[in-house]
Amino acid sequence: MRHDHIITAKQLSREDIEAVLDRAAEFDADPGAALDRHPGKLLALAFYEPSTRTKMSFETAIKRLGGDVIDMGPVEYSSVKKGESLADTVRVIEGYADAIALRHPMEGSATMASQFVDVPLLNAGDGAGQHPTQTLLDLYTIREQAGLDDITIGIMGDLKYGRTVHSLAHALTNFDTRQHFISPESLKLPRNVRYDLHEEGAQVREHDSLDEILPELDVLYVTRIQRERFPDENEYQKVAGQFTIDVETLESADDDLTIMHPLPRVDEIDPAIDDLDNATYFEQAHNGVPVRMAILDMLL
Amino acid sequence: MTDIDTELRVSKIQNGTVIDHVTGGEALHVLSIIGIDGSGGETVSVGINVPSDRLGRKDIVKVEGRELSQSEVDVLSLIAPDATINIIREYEVTEKQCVERPEEVTGVLECPNPNCITNAGEPVDTRFEVLSDGVRCEYCDTIIREDLTEHIKS
Ligand SMILES: [Zn+2]
């Protein structure tokens, strides 16, 4: 991989993705064996909004490589509160650390920040924009469970604001996949994502309910629909059941269906599903560590 | 009526820019792109929907004492793709230029996404990739297809 920064899934070619996933598989096989890879290297965690999972998996990944983290801490206690610009903050942090993982509530923040620093900058989520390291761990999980070519994947839930969805949909265009998007009308894919998928010649269909497409799927990627996205509760109640799954829903699904979710979930996957072999979301979360180890290993 | 005739409807200028073959009805947008609202004291002549052999109807804008920057020409090209720009010095056309669609426009348009980092007071110019039928923010990916002129930075 010849990138200085990891900003968007769009920058990743099939070769890049496969290189990361192969390296991740090596680390996955023996995470303790990588301690001599990057001793003393420091990863700065600049998280402008809370994200326990992403932050902890970055922290675990760098420590598994023999490095350590420095943490900006909560924004309330930082210079950000005093009005310092993001551009200034990352330029200061650049002097302390060998790489920066940035989580920021605004779209395009990682792109902008990367223009001000020479150390590798990893986008750990920018508003409703992109979340490329999540995408790589999603791809790793899909490859393990179903393979990345000749698969049919359903992506369901909040497709409008779900940055993990935007990154994943784009990355999947590198492979021979059929993508089905299932969402309420008001939370359909945004125009810019459709534009990219169209440009890439992706095989894409959109649905307003899971029923008609579920039997065809090899992978079902569920995301959370936030109740507050709906103008009124009635509107939410009308659609809510169509975008949640329970054991009964799965009757028409293929036995080998892989069910994924970027977590945290609320009520979109019934906990009774957790015990089925199909449930892959916790494994998916665990895959965050070897995949982020691979990314850091290649950038540091 | 020929284009020569219509040129005469608005007075000749000594030094400045004549933007000709502007899409009919877009002249006021052109003025807003180049930041002219009359308050700066420039002498400006505008012809709107004048007959044109080439375009049927066209607008024409003449600005005394002002030449256009490249970024202004770039945005101009998005709303007036047929425009020609004539730089006038001492009443003579010294340069004639057709606008070309650039690959990107920098610092001229505002991103309509309120949650875009370019709207957060950071020290960056906006940057838009030019698509075949619109522009796209290179920071947040938002696509603008309609009413580009509403997004010109004031
Ligand atoms: Zn933007």
A125 near A105, Cβ under 8 Å? no
| Rounded Cα distance, A238 and B85, in Å | 57
- pLDDT for position B1: 45
Residue A129 to residue B141, Cβ atoms within 8 A = yes
Is the domain of B88 the same as that of B113? no
Nearest to B120 among A106, A191, A195 (CB): A106
Give residue B112's domain range.
104-151
Q: What is the tens place of the pLDDT at every residue in B57-105? A: 999 999 998 888 777 788 788 888 889 999 899 988 998 888 888 889 8
Instruction: Please indicate, yes or no, if residue B2 is contained in any of the structural domains.
Output: no
User: In CATH, what number is assigned to the domain containing residue B114?
Assistant: 2.30.30.20
What CATH superfamily classification does A132-283 receive?
A: Aspartate/ornithine carbamoyltransferase (3.40.50.1370)
Instruction: Please indicate, yes or no, if residue B40 is contained in any of the structural domains.
Output: yes
User: In CATH, what number is assigned to the domain containing residue B22?
Assistant: 3.30.70.140
Is the domain of B22 the same as that of B89? yes
* Conformational region of residue A295, where left means phi above 0, alpha means psi within -120 to 50, and beta covers everything else: alpha
In chain A, % of residues over pLDDT 70: 97
Is the domain of B121 the same as that of B69? no
DSSP 3-state assignment of A207?
strand
ipTM of the complex: 0.90
Give me the number of domains chain B comprises. Answer: 2
Every domain of chain A and the residues it spans = 9-130+287-299, 132-283
- pLDDT for position A40: 95
C-alpha B45, offset from chain centre: 15
| Rounded Cα distance, A140 and A61, in Å | 15
Would you say the C-alpha torsion A110, A111, A117, A119 has a positive or negative sign? positive
Which residues share a beta bridge with A204?
A179
Instruction: Please indicate, yes or no, if residue B9 is contained in any of the structural domains.
Output: no
CA atoms within 13 A on the CB side of A60: 18
Residue A108 to residue B143, Cβ atoms within 8 A = no
Residue B113 to residue A87, Cβ atoms within 8 A = no
DSSP 3-state assignment of A181?
strand
Q: Of B55, B74, B98, which residue constitutes the final position of a domain? A: B98
Q: Which of A10, A103, A112, A167 to substitute to test the interface with B, most B CBs within 10 Å? A: A112
A121 near A110, Cβ under 8 Å? yes
Q: What is the tens place of the pLDDT at every residue in A163-174? A: 889 999 999 999
Q: Of B98, B115, B130, which residue constitutes the final position of a domain? A: B98
Minimal CA separation from B83 to chain A, in Å: 28
Is the domain of B66 the same as that of B32? yes
Rounded mean pLDDT, B21-36:
86
Considering the four listed CATH numbers 2.60.40.3080, 3.30.70.890, 2.40.30.10, 3.40.50.1370, the one that applies to the domain covering A9-130+287-299 is: 3.40.50.1370
Query: What are residue B58's phi and psi, to 5 degrees?
Result: -150, 165
Q: Which of A3, A14, A53, A81 is catalytic?
A: A53
DSSP 3-state assignment of B127?
strand
B12 or A100, which is more confident: A100
| Rounded Cα distance, A132 and A171, in Å | 9
Q: What is the tens place of the pLDDT at every residue in A68-120? A: 999 988 877 666 667 889 999 999 999 999 999 999 999 999 999 999 999 99
Rounded mean pLDDT, A182-196:
91
